[in-house]
A and B are shown apart, each in its own frame.
Chain A
């Protein structure tokens, strides 16, 4: 089926069934007439830009999904990190709280108070703020505690949590000794002060307490 045969007579459909080169090899036809595609046909023809656009969008979606996934799993790592740090901080908080409770125990407070030279008063006396009267017999505590705390070595009501907790020492290592020698002096001073109060301070009120209006009584200063 060769196309290299020349024909003199025009055919009805010269292009039908023939390859293009056959036509080009027939220069005797002037190319004046061309078949024009209709507008609809032109429209229907796929355009490259659309293909590129669609592919681009698909890739963009893929990329976005990838980024979102990365962000999400990054978030998961952050959550894990934060959760573990939250747990660690929680543990620290509760261990500090535990220490606080132990330091705040009566045994520890009393042992420290005694170490500072504080003594328990043997007699309860109260100052009524509304009229300044002293209720009860205000006697100074002796150099040793006279109530229960005299035997207040914490051995009697033990607290094994305190075995490793030392008493609070006065700050400044170099002055430790002088502080220690000072405190008995202070102590005796306060004792004297206390006894003078005792000699004058005994008031047994017979009348019911006058009403306390508003603030506590305080000296007026200018």
Chain B
């Protein structure tokens, strides 16, 4: 029976061992599954899952016809890990004879990218232990293609977001640009809310080879692309206008120039051009301070173009009519001992209101303005938009300066002919738009709309039209302004055969920088509308300080811009002659 006992003992031992093993295993299982479960889950998810951040695409900026002014493009950096890259490589991994030293690789890369091999070597050798070095930034897909053909292992091309402005400096002052720290100027900055994108993120599990495990849990947030911002600017017209003012600015040697073309019916700015220009592709190359739009930011004493507004206000208030007679002396002496002169010397003249505008008589408009109290004249100017920013949202936009009454003896007269008051080119365009639009000021508009990728349209303009003067007053002023082109002093420079144009010139003295009256510099401008019988477009050209004391300097550019407008918008010639307006008596 000793054998049976031995068997029993053996059995007991086995059972005990088995139970112990089971206990140990269960314990371990408990530890793994319960105690450490959370931590292990985390580690496992981290090792298996891949998170991919998909950047959204910044929206485009397009002109009124959908022509792209700014768009997001794909650019790539060229990166290597110096630690591995410096070792060189074997073209055929199994063949030691195919060794390619790092110098050869660098020479090849230098050849494609156009960088110097010495610079690249310096970058790579700066920190030989490093795992990351950027050889070149923002290269195009074409360059990446060429680099990939070199088949140099260990070179990577991470994509980077970049911005391209296919039309260069056309509208460059308005569009602005995007720097490494985001949008820096123009509508790129002002309307970043429309254009900016939101990056998306997706998480899924991958196998050891990086390929997604089928059916693995995916957490996905889709990227949201930026909206498309449509400007009212017309690229083709803008280019022509830009060339016209640049050519003339260079003739005049003027440091700056602006041109504004505004559509009368809705206040859309179809061209807002500046000189000097800025090419958003290369903002560093532009003149310092040129990155904003002078048409919005540069306020200046506009001079005689304001007389159109003064006349409209006086007529609307019933103080004068187009034929109100004025006796214009050679000099108007003021009670403080000062005086007002005209830009041309003359004896006593007998002008009507129309004659005052035709010949741009400062004395004449000063005398006419005495028929309406200053506060009322001030109110009209405010309604015309003087002294307030336009409805356009534009970074750095100037509001102009309109002093509040009571005005001193000089100012009460000078504001009527645009001295002692300042405005921007866009504000001047607004005044003429109001006159052209039968007395209703349409809010100036630069941005037509923002269309989000899902099709939602965000209408960015909420301003309402304002009735400033009666249609009768506006139309009468328009008729008087036609005399400037048909018979005024520089009519020969403004006339376009077959077309009726109403315009007003401006030659404003520039105040000395440190006070002490006016210097010998002038800001010259012409503002007008075409066709005069039924205005469709308002044009304002302005040239920064020149020593030329006549708006004749601005006239050729004005005429060229008008021709461009006629050409671009197919404005047919006028079919009726301009009505006769009495200018003298």
Contacts and interface: CB of A to CB of B under 8 A. Distances in A.
Interface of A: 72-73, 75-77, 79-80, 91-92, 94-95, 98, 101-102, 104-107, 110, 121-124, 126, 128, 135-137, 147-152, 156-162, 204-206, 208
- Max count, chain B CB within 10 A of own CB: residue among A98, A148, A149: A148
A181 B68 CA distance: 37
Nearest to B165: A161
Contacts of A205: 575
A147 B214 contact: no
Contacts of B41: none
B243 A149 contact: yes
A148 B243 contact: yes
Given A107-B167, A159-B279, A160-B168, A79 B563 contact: no
A149 B240 contact: yes
Contact of B244 (A121, A147, A160): A147
A95 B243 contact: no
Contact of A92 (B141, B235, B497, B566): B141
Nearest to A208: B575
Contacts of B215: 72
Interface string B194-217: 000000000000000001111100
Given A107-B239, A157-B239, A80 B211 contact: yes
A99 to B, nearest CB: 9
Contacts of B140: 95
Contacts of B67: 104
Contact of B243 (A101, A152, A162, A204): A152
Contact of B564 (A80, A102, A147): A147
B122 interface: no
A157 B243 contact: yes
Interface in B216-255: 235-236, 239-244, 246-247, 250
A157 B168 contact: yes
Nearest to A153: B243
A124 B566 contact: yes
Contacts of A121: 567
28 contacts: A72-B214, A80-B212, A91-B74, A95-B74, A95-B140, A101-B71, A104-B67, A106-B236, A107-B168, A124-B563, A135-B498, A137-B497, A147-B244, A148-B240, A148-B564, A152-B243, A157-B170, A158-B277, A158-B279, A159-B167, A159-B168, A160-B282, A160-B285, A161-B164, A161-B165, A161-B166, A162-B168, A204-B573
Given A101-B71, A105-B170, A157-B239, 9 more contacts: A73-B211, A94-B74, A106-B167, A107-B168, A148-B247, A151-B246, A156-B246, A156-B277, A161-B166
B310 to A, nearest CB: 32
A73 B212 CA distance: 9
Contacts, number: 135
A122 B213 CA distance: 69
Interface in B130-184: 140-142, 164-170
B5 interface: no
Given A91-B141, A156-B247, A158-B279, A110 B239 contact: yes
A128 B563 CA distance: 19
A205 B567 CA distance: 19
A74 B137 CA distance: 37
A156 B560 CA distance: 16
B239 A106 contact: yes
A95 B75 CA distance: 9
Given A76-B214, A95-B142, A147 B166 contact: no
B42 interface: no
A80 B211 CA distance: 7
A184 to B, nearest CB: 24
A109 to B, nearest CB: 9
Interface in B67-111: 67-68, 71, 73-74
Contacts of A124: 563, 566-567, 571
Closest 6 CB pairs of A and B: A159-B168, A101-B166, A151-B247, A148-B244, A106-B239, A160-B282
Contacts of B170: 105-107, 157, 159
Given A98-B164, A161-B164, A137 B498 contact: yes
A165 B142 CA distance: 14
